[in-house]
Structure formats: C-alpha cells, structure tokens
Amino acid sequence: AGVPPNLRTMTHAPGACQAALPAYEGTIRKRPLAFVNEGTGPAFVTCAFPGFEGGSFGGLTIWFTNFGDAAAVLRCTFVTGTAATGVPHAVPPVYTSRIRELPAGASDALFLTTGDATTDAPTSVSCALPPRVGVGDLAFGQEVEPNP
C-alpha cells in the first residue's frame, strides 16, 4: 500500500495561518473556526500549506466570512515557488492576486487552480482582511504518485 494519488488536506485557519506582523496580532481574533479581524482597519494574515515534495499542485480553496453589517473587499495574493536560488529545489515564484467583495453576513471562497500556480512548489497566501472579515476553512490539493 502506498500514498494514494489526489490528496486533499483540510484545516481551519489556526492550523495554517498567522498574523503577518506583530502589529496585527492585537487585531486578529484567533477563533477555533476562523481568524477574524476585530480591528478598525485592514489586518494582514499569511497562510502556508504543507505538501509532499515531488507532488504536483492540485488546487487550493480558502473560505472567508464577513461577520460585519456592511460589504467588504477582500484582497489576497497567492504565491507558489521558493525564495531560494541556485539550489536543486529552487522554483521561481509565481504571484496570483484575487479580489472579492463579500456582502455583509456572507461567506465565499477564493480559488487557486492548477493553471494559476507553479507545480511542485510550496504554496502560501497573504490576505488583507477588512474589519469583521475572517479566514476560515482551507483546502489544499496535491497530485502524488503512489509508492510501490
């Protein structure tokens, strides 16, 4: 029995995300089901997704919820690749931006598909969470070859 192909991992924000700077730590409420910006201005969070070396990127979905009473604009930048250069695992980074308006009280997802990302490279995302918006569930897919 080997590792099955088409793996999809899921987690809540506390398992994959953190405030991008110490200044945002005081505004991000780290709930079990979501990281929510409780401040009055945008707060940046960064989320990273573990994967298997040698596996191919199979897609990414991140769910957000607007807990506020007004629409909010969510801005995220996905990054696949590495910062390393001149080493065997170096993969030039690819940046993909997504913008989504979330109506008050609504949830929606941002997606990164195989056509948007570098294959066989680490994947992360940085989001500017508007006030009262939270990042919740995250799902990361990877195609891997079965072990003999």
Residue with tokens 């294959």: 119
Which residues, 6 or more positions from 88, have their beta carbon under 8 angstroms from its beta carbon? none
What's the confidence (pLDDT) of residue 108?
A: 95
Q: State residue 1's pLDDT score.
A: 46
Could you please report the per-residue DSSP string of 125-138? EEEEEPTTEEEEEE
Residue 135 to residue 51: CA distance in whole angstroms: 20
d(CA 55, CA 142): 6
pLDDT in tens, the chain (148 residues): 454 557 788 888 988 899 998 888 889 999 888 999 999 999 999 999 877 777 777 788 999 999 999 999 999 999 888 887 777 777 788 899 999 999 999 999 998 877 776 666 788 899 999 999 999 999 888 777 766 5
